[in-house]
Structure 1
Amino acid sequence: MSPTISTLSSTRLSKLSLLLLLFLLPFSLLVSSSTASFFSFIFVGCSQYKYSPGSPYENGIDSVLTSFVSSSASSSYNNFSFPGPTPSDTIYGLYQCRGDLAVADCSICVSRAVSQVGTLCAGSSGGTLQLEGCLVRYDNSTFLGALDKTVLLRRCGPLVGNANSDELTRGDAVLGYIGAGDGSYKPYRTGVSGSVQVVAQCVQDLSAGDCQDCLTEAIGRLKSDCGAAKWGDVYLAKCFVQYSDGDHTSGGHGTSDEEVEKTVVILIGVIVGVAVVILFLSLMATMCERARGGK
């Protein structure tokens, strides 16, 4: 009888494990679909200067990157400096998440960015990596608190084929609203007018005046370079501006793609739900049959 008992327990455990997996699958899909866009890659830049493996400088980089990950569990921005044996060995670093990113997602984003920059910039004395939802940067130069309007990335979507004066006016109005400074410190800014949406943010090591200066420069470049495009992004070293007409995003995915993604997730959830019911009924029938056979 013991082999029968063993086989029954193993089968029951296997089916219960599969049941739990199928039950959790649709929820994991929903979570990933709602946050995946924040983890998409934007750009990376690595210093041309290299450090020696095993040197104090390498230990400093490890310390900075580890601090990014641990700090992001509770804060969406922080900066660090780790002194080395010489001034050139001092490591400066910062990370920052988008203002609309929850702390939990910020931590995931920073962890992914740290993993990628550690690989892509391996051996380099400095690295900057931008994901959609977060930025990480480290170097042995004292960039903290310094205004830098160097263009790191500019990309524009297709021109609006049937743009009218109202659409262009709304776009100018939202960009004007985002770029308006009232003297207060607003590193993260959003604006919407009809189908037009704008997101802008400067790195929080900047003063209010330098933040305003950086965003003004980024908005000016966006308007001059992208004109009447469907969408456009301008990333400067210390700020960025993203513009879209509501039907297109900077990633080039329209709302139709988003609806398809949602539909696929819903369909998967329904299919998995049906599979769970069938598996549960099958499991109950098997247990009842074995229970009757044991009498």
Structure 2
Amino acid sequence: MSKTPLSFTIFLSLSLFFFPSITASSITDRYLYGGCTQQKYTSNSPYESNLNSMLTSLVNSATYLSYNNFTMVGGSQQDVIYGLYQCRGDLSMPDCATCVARAVTKAGDMCRGSCGGAVQLDGCYVKYDNATFLGVEDKVVVLKQCGPSVGYNPEGMGSRDAVLGGLAGSGGPFREGGSGVVRGVAQCMGDLSYGECQDCLSEAITKLKSDCGTADYGDMFLGKCYARYSIGGAHQASKAHGKSGKGGERTFAMVIGILAGVAILIIFLAFLSKICGRQGK
């Protein structure tokens, strides 16, 4: 049996170390938006204790349910806190749990001391507040993102409109569809009724089509629902939705540097192997 050269073994190990596969969680954990209420709570108060219990419940529940809401009751009305989380409908439970845990951590860091907070990651949403919002419609635009224009293409725009129309006419809180290179997804918060969901998504899709025009992707997030589309995988091509900038350049430079270092190491090991071979003779 032939032995694997040492240089190849080291190169394989370094490759596996420096170039791990891109996991679903690395994509779904991308931060989209968030916010905190202005009202603050007192440190070590019953409200803080309730908040900690709320956040723990959200994380624990996400290991077996893709949506849930909680109400933590305190000794007085001012200590009551409401919260919910929701994962994207196509996420596996392990990815859902990971996403919610990271969203809760993000909200805790960003909204430290605030009575309420909300965080939307690419794969999940978390919100908590001392004012009830459960079962309440909310069609306020909280995030709008449009990609660069690809120019008017009757066929492409027709496919996009057909996909968005299919999402509007589908049932259930999570909807996805596609036609050719166009992909679309929409979702309502789990605390809305079917009629409220339809109303919210109709608003989101109408705004998405009018505001993003001929863009190669679009995101329209309202308070209790969202609609998104992508032409030719535009979302995946730009991790930051068209804002790759210097971060992408730095990543590319890092990869090139790593490859160069590995190549130098291989040459050195090959040279060392020849010297050792000669000395052995």
Of structures 1 and 2, the larger Rg is shown by: 1
What is the Cα deviation at residue 122 of structure 1? 0.6
Gap regions ≥5 residues in structure 1: 1-17, 283-295
Select 2:17's aligned residue among 15, 22, 25.
25
The whole-number CA distance in structure 1 between the counterparts of 2:241 and 2:28 is: 11
Name the structure 1 match of 2:277. Answer: none
Corresponding residue SS for 1:137: strand
- 1:35 matched to 2:7: no
Name the structure 1 match of 2:166. Answer: 177
What is the Cα deviation at residue 156 of structure 1? 1.2
What is the Cα deviation at residue 30 of structure 1? 1.0
What is the Cα deviation at residue 52 of structure 1? 0.7
CA contact (8 A) 2:141 2:222 kept: yes
What is the Cα deviation at residue 25 of structure 1? 3.1
CA contact (8 A) 2:25 2:98 kept: no
Select 1:79's aligned residue among 47, 69, 74.
69
The whole-number CA distance in structure 2 between the counterparts of 1:59 and 1:20 is: 50
Counterpart residue type for residue 168 of structure 1: M
**TM-score with structure 2 setting the length:** 0.79
Name the structure 1 match of 2:109. Answer: 119
Counterpart residue type for residue 205 of structure 1: D
Give matches, 1:157-168, under 5 Å: 157-161=147-151, 163-168=152-157
What is the Cα deviation at residue 247 of structure 1? 4.0
Tell me the alpha carbon deviations over residues 167-214 of structure 1, each in whole angstroms, 9 at most, x when there is no partner: 111111111100115xx4x11111111111111111111111111111
The whole-number CA distance in structure 1 between the counterparts of 2:111 and 2:187 is: 25
The whole-number CA distance in structure 2 between the counterparts of 1:205 and 1:247 is: 31
Corresponding residue SS for 2:95: helix
- 1:237 matched to 2:237: no
Name the structure 2 match of 1:103. Answer: 93
Corresponding residue SS for 1:123: coil
The whole-number CA distance in structure 1 between the counterparts of 2:183 and 2:189 is: 21
The whole-number CA distance in structure 2 between the counterparts of 1:171 and 1:242 is: 10
Give matches, 1:249-260, under 5 Å: 249=235, 251-252=241-242
Classify 1:145/1:247 alpha carbon distance in 2 versus 1 (closer, same or farther; 3 Å). Answer: same
The whole-number CA distance in structure 2 between the counterparts of 1:225 and 1:216 is: 14
The whole-number CA distance in structure 2 between the counterparts of 1:180 and 1:92 is: 31
Corresponding residue SS for 2:242: coil
Counterpart residue type for residue 54 of structure 1: N
Counterpart residue type for residue 180 of structure 1: G
Give matches, 1:276-295, under 5 Å: none
Q: Which has the higher helix share?
A: 1
The whole-number CA distance in structure 1 between the counterparts of 2:95 and 2:177 is: 22
What is the Cα deviation at residue 21 of structure 1? 7.6
Select 2:193's aligned residue among 189, 202, 207.
207
The whole-number CA distance in structure 2 between the counterparts of 1:20 and 1:52 is: 54
- How many pairs were matched up? 257
Tell me how large the CA RMSD over aligned residues is. Answer: 3.5
Select 1:140's aligned residue among 127, 130, 133.
130
- 1:219 matched to 2:211: no
Counterpart residue type for residue 163 of structure 2: V
Counterpart residue type for residue 217 of structure 1: E
Gap regions ≥5 residues in structure 2: 1-9, 273-281
Classify 1:164/1:180 alpha carbon distance in 2 versus 1 (closer, same or farther; 3 Å). Answer: same
What is the Cα deviation at residue 20 of structure 1? 12
The whole-number CA distance in structure 2 between the counterparts of 1:146 and 1:153 is: 19
Give identity over the alignment, percent: 49
Classify 1:21/1:121 alpha carbon distance in 2 versus 1 (closer, same or farther; 3 Å). Answer: farther
Classify 1:168/1:66 alpha carbon distance in 2 versus 1 (closer, same or farther; 3 Å). Answer: same
Name the structure 1 match of 2:37. Answer: 47
Counterpart residue type for residue 155 of structure 2: D
